[in-house]
């Protein structure tokens, strides 16, 4: 077990960022699920709201992508 303590911390940090992706997954699932629930209640209004769905999913997903970016930065740039 020889190695660099900084490298150890780096890898632990990268692992921790995976939590961020998981939470982003929750967020995206929440958006899609609520959209589906609303769409099933009122299917006629659903078609007009797909754009909103994608915007919402994009925002939720962006934060997961940010955690992925942090992981990449930790792995390669720090």
- Contact residues for another protein, defined by CB under 8 A: 4, 6-7, 51, 54-55, 57-59, 61-62, 65-66, 68-69, 72-73, 75-77
Instruction: State the nearest-atom distance from the C-beta of 71 to another protein, in Å.
Output: 10
Show the tokens assigned to 66.
């940010």
Q: For 1-7, which contacts have Cβ atoms below 8 Å and span 24 or more sequence positions?
A: none
Do the Cβ atoms of 7 and 14 come closer than 8 Å?
Answer: no
CB nearer another protein, residue 10 or residue 39: 10
CB nearer another protein, residue 40 or residue 76: 76
Show the tokens assigned to 27.
């967020």
């Amino acid at each position: 077990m020889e190695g660099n303590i900084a490298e150890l911390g780096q890898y632990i940090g990268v692992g921790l960022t995976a939590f961020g992706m998981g939470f982003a997954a929750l967020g995206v699932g929440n958006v899609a699920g609520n959209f589906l629930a609303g769409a099933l209640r009122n299917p006629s209004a659903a078609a007009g709201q797909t754009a909103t769905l994608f915007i919402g999913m994009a925002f939720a997903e962006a934060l997961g992508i940010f955690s992925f970016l942090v992981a990449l930065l930790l792995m390669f740039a720090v």
